[in-house]
Structure 1
Amino acid sequence: MSGLLAWQDDPEYVAQIDDLLHTDAVQKLNNYTQHHSMTRLEHSLNVSYRSYLIGKKLHLNTRALARAGLLHDLFYYDWRKTKFNRGTHAYIHPRVALRNAEKITELTPMEKDIIVKHMWGATIGLPRYKETWVVSLVDDYCAMDEYMGHLANDVEDKLKVNH
């Protein structure tokens, strides 16, 4: 179920994200929990690599998928606790992530669209590119997979205690 794919074993993928992965801004994501069972960096790598793999099969822009997928949640607060006056977390965090991403790298219009619209469904900004749709759907899939993995572990732990 949940867990990181072997992205490290894919030199083509690593070449797309290596410069970003080694920035303090991206490494800082390791300090934040995402969906209970993973760090925000692990989640972002899951979204990035899965999107990249889908993009390869569909002949899409794999560079944009890998890079924007890694940067889509580049924000540094606990979304469960932090509340905003100017909108919901679903609306605010993609904009914060975009602003943070622009501080560490130049982004193409496609990468910007991917980051700011990855919460499509929870927000109304319609994705402009096929790649944006991919990251949005993969992000939803990963969030569910990661959360369900957390629930499965809780159930397994409770069963061990009760027997």
Structure 2
Amino acid sequence: MEFVRKIWENDPEYMTIIKDLLNNEKLLELEEITHHHYTTRLSHSLFVSYVSYKLAKSRGLDYISTARAGLLHDFFLEGRHEILEMGLGSHNSAHPKIALKNAQEITEINEVEKDIILKHMFLCTLKGGVPRFKESFIVTLVDKYCAISEVSTPTREWFKEFYARLQIKVSYN
């Protein structure tokens, strides 16, 4: 993920697309929230946003909406327990609605962005409905890819160190 970070920070077109969002204090609070055990919610959102942006752009799709909605897809400050206490349902079905509400408070959201944010958990819950746009499918799939990468990379490194201490040679290639 660190590799991706260095890339997105040096991509002037991408930075122009999301610059206004990265200047929002409420969105920046996501940097204080641990996400997927090993990263922050802001780092995860940037990872999803940038990879999705590159995929959408390479396919001639609406990469601007994809980048912006990818950054806003997990724009919620509540934890899993707080979401349950709010009575909005499970974390998987409720947090997209909270993210959309928060996103609409800081910027104008178009129909593609709305669909991306609301339906990015499509593979984990059917409550949000089936995505209507190709861009929504991209963010949905990239979100799952990034989550797996964020969890598996540190875990794999831990196992490498563990096996090294036991003097067992393991290859992950």
* TM-score exceeds 0.5: yes
Match of 1:146? 150
Q: What letter matches 2:2 in structure 1?
A: G
Gaps of 5+ in 1: none
Q: What letter matches 1:30 in structure 2?
A: E
- Taking the aligned partners of 1:153 and 1:76, their CA distance within structure 2 comes to 29
Q: What letter matches 1:13 in structure 2?
A: Y
Match of 2:97? 95
What's the CA shift for 1:112? 0.6
What's the CA shift for 1:36? 1.6
Match of 2:115? 113
Q: What letter matches 2:56 in structure 1?
A: G
- Taking the aligned partners of 1:116 and 1:43, their CA distance within structure 2 comes to 17
The alignment's C-alpha RMSD in Å is 1.4
What TM-score results when the alignment is normalised by the length of structure 2? 0.88
> Does residue 133 in structure 1 map to residue 132 in structure 2?
no
What TM-score results when the alignment is normalised by the length of structure 1? 0.93
Aligned pairs (5 A) from 1:7-156: 7-79=8-80, 81-82=81-82, 84=84, 85-124=87-126, 125-156=129-160
- Taking the aligned partners of 2:30 and 2:157, their CA distance within structure 1 comes to 23
- Taking the aligned partners of 2:97 and 2:79, their CA distance within structure 1 comes to 16
> Does residue 157 in structure 1 map to residue 161 in structure 2?
yes
What's the CA shift for 1:150? 2.2
- Any idea what the Cα deviations from partners look like across 1:37-60, whole Å, max 9, x if unmatched? 211111000000000000111000
- Whether the aligned pair in 2 keeps the contact of 1:37 and 1:149 (CA below 8 Å) is no
- The secondary structure found in structure 1 opposite 2:124 is coil
- Any idea what the Cα deviations from partners look like across 1:3-22, whole Å, max 9, x if unmatched? 35110111011100000011
What's the CA shift for 1:68? 0.2
Q: State which structure, 1 or 2, has the greater radius of gyration over its C-alpha atoms.
A: 2
What's the CA shift for 1:121? 1.4
Q: What letter matches 2:158 in structure 1?
A: D
